[in-house]
Chain A
Amino acid sequence: MVMQPQGYGIEESGLSATFGALSDPTRRAILARLVQGEASVSELAEPFAMTQPAISKHLKVLERAGLISRGRDAQRRLSRLEAKPLAAASQWLQDYRQFWEASFSRLDSLLGELQSAKRATRRSGPTKG
């Protein structure tokens, strides 16, 4: 239950691909590294106990989701972060969060109100004590 996002100019399939790509901890770590700047496959593989082909697979997933782009130089295929789909995903999550935070804080008040009404009824009732 959430108000629909409107006018982000991004298809659900795009968002779905973004979230899919982000669901893996290695891929999130790769993106976090790319926030600092472009990197080659070997540079990206370094902090992980993973082979370069394994890292390359993750990079392909990220590339398909549009989260990174990769250079054409076969020798040194630098990966760089593409911020736009991340921003769309972030906006969507923020809207989601806002909808629920606002609703829940209203629910807090309502629950408080209902409970004090119940207590008041009990106090004035014959089974006092």
Chain B
Amino acid sequence: MFYPNSFRIATPSDTEIEISRDFHAPRQLVFDAFTKTELVRRWLLGPGGWSMPVCEIELRVGGRYRYVWRKEGVKDMGMSGVFQEVVVPSILVATEKFDEAWYPGEALNMTVFAENGDVTKILITVRYESKEARDTARRSGMEQGLESGYNRLEELLASVQVQR
């Protein structure tokens, strides 16, 4: 049983992006899929044709991680960061920065894994160019933004695109 329709993406503020998704798997397993290199490199690949020849994760506070994506005919894309908080199997907070960042400063990524029966819900909050980033990420809360459903931004964007 898969839950592709549970995917939500929202922009709760000018510097944050929130993504959530349900998975039909125990929380520990989903957490492993996000933190064990032999698993991460099998799925965190985006659309078509990318592989992850470099995937290093040192899962502890202060530990580094590094991902490099490769695709034929395209320049390698690297990203790395440092874990700020690691609570197995429920919370990951880490900085993230692309080798050739298109935004100034580092972004902060907070991923929360919540178990509800057979389902594990993940909520990823990425905050760009942040001050007191973790506090804000925490304050954004687990369910906020999910209960209210889609951000109306998407509706608006859709209507504007139709007009063009």
Minimal beta-carbon separation of B37 from chain A (angstroms): 13
29 contacts between A and B (CB under 8 A): A3-B77, A4-B77, A4-B100, A16-B14, A20-B13, A20-B14, A23-B11, A23-B14, A31-B156, A31-B160, A35-B163, A86-B160, A90-B161, A93-B9, A93-B11, A97-B9, A101-B4, A102-B48, A103-B44, A103-B45, A103-B46, A104-B4, A105-B4, A107-B23, A107-B44, A108-B23, A108-B24, A112-B25, A114-B33
Q: Kindly identify which residue among B17, B43, B160, B161 contacts A110, using a CB–CB cutoff of 8 Å.
A: B43
Chain A residues with CB under 8 Å of B11's CB are: 19, 22-23, 93
Interface string of A8-47 (1 = CB under 8 A from B): 0000100011011111010010011001000000000000
Query: Contacting chain A: which of B56-64, B102-110, B136-144?
Result: B102-110
Interface majority SS (helix, strand, loop, mixed), chain B: mixed
Chain A residues with CB under 8 Å of B44's CB are: 1, 103, 107
Interface string of B30-60 (1 = CB under 8 A from A): 1001000001001111111010000000000
Chain A, 75-91, CB within 8 A of any chain B CB:
81, 83, 86-87, 89-90
Q: A12-B103, A28-B152 are in contact. Are A104 and B7 (CB under 8 A)?
A: yes
Chain A, 36-79, CB within 8 A of any chain B CB:
none
Interface string of B91-117 (1 = CB under 8 A from A): 000001010111110000100000000
Q: Kindly identify which residue among A1, A104, A111 contacts B109, using a CB–CB cutoff of 8 Å.
A: A1
Contact-size category for B: 35 or more
Chain B residues with CB under 8 Å of A19's CB are: 11, 13-15
Chain B residues with CB under 8 Å of A96's CB are: 9, 17, 19
Interface status of A106 (Cβ within 8 A of chain B):
yes
Chain B, 1-30, CB within 8 A of any chain A CB:
2-4, 7, 9, 11-15, 17, 19, 21, 23-25, 29-30
Chain A residues with CB under 8 Å of B39's CB are: 110, 114
Q: A4-B100, A16-B129, A86-B157 are in contact. Are A108 and B79 (CB under 8 A)?
A: no
Interface majority SS (helix, strand, loop, mixed), chain A: helix
Interface residues of A (CB under 8 A from B): 1-5, 12, 16-17, 19-23, 25, 28, 31-32, 35, 81, 83, 86-87, 89-90, 93, 96-112, 114-115
